[in-house]
Amino acid sequence: MKKVILLVLCSMLLSSCAISQNNQDQSGIAPEGAPADITLSANSGEPSGSAGEAAVYGKERFFSRPAGSRSVWVWGNAYKMLQDASKKRDFLDFLKKPHDISEPITNVYLDCSRTYLINDNYKKKLADFITAAHEQGVCVQFLAGDPAWAYQNRTVISIIEAMAKYNAEVPPQARFDGIHFDIEPHTMPIWGRDDRLRSRFLTSAQLYGEKMREHNPDIVFGLDLPIFWNEDEIRIFAQATDYITLMNYTDNPVSMANRAEKFLKVAEELGKKVESGIETQEPSVKWGVTPPITFYDEGYEIMESALAKAGEIMGRSPAFIGFAIHYDESYRNMSKERVILRDNRVYPEQPVISIPQSKAPIVIDGNLDDWQEAGVVEIKNKKHVVYEITPGKWEGNHDLSCNSYLLWDSEALYIGFDVTDDVIFQKHTGSQMVTGDHLELWFDTDYHGDEETSYPSDDDFQIGISPGNFDTVDPSMTIWLPGDSKEFDLSLITYAVAKSDTGYRIEMKIPFSFFKIGAPSAGGYMRINIDPSDTDGPVDDQEILMSSSISREYGNPRTFRLVIFE
């Protein structure tokens, strides 16, 4: 999730509000309805009021929550809640049983600035809010972030030091339970262009962890991380923190669990924890939110069902602690039932792909000599490049391109690929192949049912196939979509891989029974997309994605290529 602009705006807003409040309200009087027995004290943690004598905070409180507990990000609304007692009470009441059907939220990431920790007026309001939350059994963590903090450390260290001073000056029941950073350097234009940024972020995370252990040993330290980090890097982050919040934004519960697998594995080895983030924002081009990554269009009833399924899978690991909901305002405004999102956009016209019937059996052996009569789809030239980790990463057809061949008969769909790839790099098999060389195949098996749909449904399939690296990593295949993908038997698909002088070849036989549909009639339609992906290493990141569709959008069947069965 790209929040660079949002973070900047929030920072500006908070700074402006801080100046305004300092000029208008120096009374320090607690808002109406706030606990009356809290006073700030410089006594290194001894409460000055009776309510805090048995208070628990920090690591003890956070990790005493049961597995499957829930957190929520609060972006932009912290100032309002600190100033308005009724807004604070409404928010805390919502956390008890969101939408009257959801699990209670027991951890809040409260969007703050360092000013909140050092200004006496804000400190008093923070103490009131945190105490009220603690009385309800809710943890409160300081939330802030800036992509520049991946390499600029001064601000972060000043926050960590200010937190230590704040927590020492208030009673235990008014103390923050942790610091949570949302840094996201991958949103910077330089990301992928200079590997030093990646390594510097890892070094900075280690420094922040050391400073937290030095200054705030009793409270937790967490980071938001996207899913692309490899196991070695995850290990560094996990050692630096107490837990990781994975930005695991998908509405597919099986994919959610699969994406978390490597994080849970590393965390379990190190005795650390992992939280799975989920998105509830309305789809937005501005913020990069599309229907497949958010539960907005499903509504909270379907979301709860999906989280139960994902939680059951991830909960098999003792490292799993629960879900983090992004974010409070969008979650509170969610609909109970599915929201129908109609896509009325007009997409560029692209040639229809004709698939001839096979006149002779196709032998699945990695040799393309018997595909002379096949329909051909060329994926070449710049117009088919739909993603580059940095501008200009694709160096030409020798870097990545693909000729695809399609045939069909009454039993199956046959697809052959002749991929040009100057460096074959793959370190993983199965669902983790996405960070190395592979092909993503999309199939929309209900052409007429998706005429106004811009997101995948149960009739849409996303299959991955990897050549391996022709050395230590074997070829493999996986299915990412639909959500109940385990109901579809990948063993029905036959495939073969062979190395070539310019890259690799793949042949596939996909029975129509795999899709749980009958064979199409001559003249029938389907939508298909073929997306070759390239990574040259040494870091296993997806670097280039090409597509048979020049208007390709992830999971949007209306952007797939239309095929007709001759």
DSSP assignment of 158-177 equals HHHHHHHHHHHHS-GGGS--
pLDDT(565) > 90: yes
The residues facing 279 across adjacent strands are 294, 326
CA dist 54 and 320 (Å) reads 28
Give the tens place of pLDDT for each residue, 178-211.
999 999 999 998 887 788 999 999 999 999 999 9
Give the tens place of pLDDT for each residue, 59-104.
999 999 999 999 999 998 888 888 899 999 999 999 999 999 889 9
The residues facing 464 across adjacent strands are 440, 478
Question: What pLDDT is stored for residue 442 in this prediction?
Answer: 96
Backbone dihedral angles phi then psi of residue 264, each to the nearest 5 degrees: -65, -40
pLDDT(545) > 60: yes
Question: What pLDDT is stored for residue 555 in this prediction?
Answer: 87
**What is the maximum span of the chain, computed from C-alpha positions, in angstroms?**
87
SS3 406: strand
User: Which residue intervals of 58-179 are DSSP H helices?
Assistant: 59-62, 78-83, 85-96, 115-118, 120-135, 154-169
- As a whole number, the mean pLDDT across the chain is 88
Question: What pLDDT is stored for residue 486 in this prediction?
Answer: 64
* Candidate from 309-318, 397-406, 455-464 with smallest mean pLDDT: 455-464
CA dist 531 and 546 (Å) reads 5
> How much is the average pLDDT of 197-226?
97
Question: What pLDDT is stored for residue 16 in this prediction?
Answer: 37
Q: Smallest Cα–Cα separation from 73: which of 373, 395, 327, 404?
A: 327
Question: What pLDDT is stored for residue 414 in this prediction?
Answer: 97
Question: What pLDDT is stored for residue 55 in this prediction?
Answer: 52
Question: What pLDDT is stored for residue 28 in this prediction?
Answer: 31
SS3 93: helix
CA dist 198 and 196 (Å) reads 5
pLDDT band with cut points at 50, 70 and 90 for residue 410 = very high
Q: Quick check: 201 and 514 in contact, CB under 8 A? A: no
Question: First-to-last CA distance in the chain?
Answer: 42
Question: What pLDDT is stored for residue 189 in this prediction?
Answer: 87
CA dist 45 and 344 (Å) reads 59
Question: What pLDDT is stored for residue 51 in this prediction?
Answer: 38
Identify the burial level of 348 via C-beta atoms within 10 angstroms of its C-beta, where 0-12 means exposed, 13-18 middle and 19 or more buried.
Answer: exposed
CATH 3.20.20.70 in the chain is located at 4-332
pLDDT(5) > 60: no
Question: What pLDDT is stored for residue 483 in this prediction?
Answer: 63
Question: What pLDDT is stored for residue 26 in this prediction?
Answer: 30
Per CATH, is 4-332 categorized as 3.40.50.150? no
More confident residue, 545 or 14: 545
pLDDT band with cut points at 50, 70 and 90 for residue 31 = very low
The residues facing 273 across adjacent strands are 243
CA dist 24 and 18 (Å) reads 10
Output the six-digit token pair for 10: 């929030």
Q: Smallest Cα–Cα separation from 426: which of 467, 386, 460?
A: 467
Give the tens place of pLDDT for each residue, 371-385.
989 999 999 999 999
CATH code at 353-565: 2.60.40.1190
Give the tens place of pLDDT for each residue, 412-458.
999 999 999 999 999 999 988 988 999 999 999 987 777 777 878 88
pLDDT band with cut points at 50, 70 and 90 for residue 340 = confident
pLDDT(325) > 90: yes
CA dist 530 and 559 (Å) reads 12
Give the tens place of pLDDT for each residue, 259-284.
999 999 999 999 999 999 999 999 88
Output the six-digit token pair for 34: 């706030």
pLDDT(318) > 60: yes
SS3 513: helix
User: What is the dihedral sign for C-alpha 487, 548, 373, 518?
Assistant: positive
SS3 19: helix
One-letter amino acid at 247 equals: M
* Candidate from 132-146, 233-247, 477-491, 541-555 with smallest mean pLDDT: 477-491
User: What is the dihedral sign for C-alpha 85, 91, 94, 99?
Assistant: positive
Backbone dihedral angles phi then psi of residue 406, each to the nearest 5 degrees: -130, 135
